[in-house]
Amino acid sequence: MVYDKLLVGTAKGLINFQIIEGKLIEKELYFEGLDVTAIHQHFDGSTFIAISHKHWGEKIFVKNFNSEIWDELNTPIFEKTLKNVNGSPAVLKQIWDIKDGGEQYPDRLWVGTEPGALFLSEDRGITYKLVESLWYHPTRIKDKHWFGAGKELPFVHSIIIEPGKNEVIYISVSCAGIFKSIDSGKTWETCNYGMKAEYLPNTSPNAGYDPHLMLMSEVDHKVLWQQNHCGIFRSENGGKEWKDVSGENAFPSYGFCIAIEELATNEAWVIPVQDEASRIPTSLQLRVFKTSDAGKTWQNQSNGLPSNRFYGIVLRNGFVKKGNNMAFGTTNGNLYYSNNRGEKWTEVNTSMAKINFLNFNR
C-alpha cells in the first residue's frame, strides 16, 4: 500500500503535503484558521478529521477516497445528567482520537474525548452512544482514580482496534491508564501492571497512570509500546505486564510521542522532553532517539535537525512512521521529514502554527 501524502493537522488548519521523489511538497490547505485535533484514515481510504471551532465547538468531517469534498458528520453529545469526575456537568471539550471498527465492523467509529469518554457509532458518524461501561468503570466512579493531567479533566487520547480481532480494543486515558476490552466495549479490564505513577502517594495504584501515547506492533499484536509520563514502557503480552525500557540513567524517558517499526517488534523512536514543568526539549536540543533492541539501548538519530537552541516540543500525535517515511511536527510550527527511517532529517517548514496531529495518507 502506497502512502503518498502527509496530512498535517495544525492549530490553524489542515495542510496536505504530497510525497514526490522523496520530498514533501505542500499542496492544499483545508479548514483555514481552525484547530485540527484528530485525523484518521479508514481502511477503505476515507479520511476523518476532528476540529475545534471557537464558536461552534467540536466537529467531525469525512472525505471519501479521491474526493475533494469534506462532509460534516454528527458529533457525540453528553447527556445533560452526566457529571465529570469533579462534579461539573459533562460537556464535550475536545475530540482526541477517531478510529474505525476494522474489517469486521466497517461502519463503526470509535471516538475518544475530553472529558474522558469513549463513544461508539455503528453508522459511520450519524448516531453515537456513550460507552457506559467505561464511563461508569469502578476506577472512575468508586475509586475516583481518574483525574486531569495538564488538563482540567481526564481524556481518552489513544484507541487501538486489534487487527483480525476487532472486538479487542485498547484505550489510553490521561490520567487513568490503559484499559482493554475483548467484547467490543461491553466490559473493561485495567492493563496497568508494571507502570509507574510517581506523582501519587501510592506509585502503583490500580488506575491513575498517565500514558501519553500507546501503539501496537503490526506483526505481533501482543507487543505494545507507550511513551508515558513516568518513562517509556513496552509490553510483550497484550498489556498484562509493562516493562520500563527508558534509557540509561532514565534518558530518554519523558516525552509525549513515540513511533515504532511496523515490521519488527524491537524498534522504536522517541523525542525527549526535559521535564513536566518546563516542557522544553532536553537541554534545549531537538533530538530523536532510536532503539533497535526493545529499549536496552538508545542511539541519537538526529542528523539534519537544528543544532541551535530549540524551544518547541512534539505532541503525542505529532510523530508518525510508514515504511521508510517518518515525520514529526513541533509546537512552534516546525515540520521535519525523513525518507530513510530517520537516518537523516530534512527541515520542511518552520512557519506553520502549532502542529497537533500527523497522518501518512494514501
Q: What is the pLDDT of residue 66?
A: 85
Q: Is the dihedral of CA 72, 74, 78, 80 positive or negative?
A: positive
Average pLDDT over residues 170-176: 97
Average pLDDT over residues 119-133: 98
Q: Is the dihedral of CA 193, 198, 200, 203 positive or negative?
A: positive
Q: Which DSSP letter does residue 283 get?
A: G
324: left (phi over 0), alpha (psi -120 to 50) or beta: alpha
For 59-70, how does the pLDDT look when each residue is reduced to its tens digit (9 = 90+)?
999 999 988 899
List the domain boundaries for the chain. 34-361
Q: What is the pLDDT of residue 138?
A: 97
211: left (phi over 0), alpha (psi -120 to 50) or beta: beta
For 199-216, how does the pLDDT look when each residue is reduced to its tens digit (9 = 90+)?
999 999 999 999 999 999
**Whether pLDDT at 1 is above 80:** no
Residue 249: band (very low, low, confident or very high) from pLDDT cuts 50, 70, 90: confident
For 271-330, how does the pLDDT look when each residue is reduced to its tens digit (9 = 90+)?
999 999 999 999 999 999 999 999 999 999 999 999 999 999 999 999 999 999 999 999
Q: What is the pLDDT of residue 341?
A: 97
Average pLDDT over residues 235-258: 95
Percentage of residues in the chain having pLDDT higher than 90: 95
Residue 40: band (very low, low, confident or very high) from pLDDT cuts 50, 70, 90: very high
Residue 149: band (very low, low, confident or very high) from pLDDT cuts 50, 70, 90: confident
Give the DSSP per-residue string, 50-118. Answer: EEEETTTEEEEEEE-TT--PPEEE------TT-B-TTSSB----EEEEEEE--TT-TT-EEEEEETTEE
Q: What is the pLDDT of residue 128?
A: 98
CATH no. of 34-361: 2.130.10.10
- Give me the long-range contacts of 350-354 (CB less than 8 A, separation at least 24): 352/8, 352/10, 352/12, 352/15, 353/10, 353/11, 353/12, 353/13, 354/10, 354/11
For 273-290, how does the pLDDT look when each residue is reduced to its tens digit (9 = 90+)?
999 999 999 999 999 999
Q: Give 159's strand partners.
A: 171
Q: What is the pLDDT of residue 168?
A: 98
Among the ranges given (114-118, 141-145, 342-346, 352-356), the one the predictor scored with the smallest mean pLDDT: 141-145
Q: What is the pLDDT of residue 250?
A: 84
Average pLDDT over residues 130-153: 94
Q: Which DSSP letter does residue 249 get?
A: G
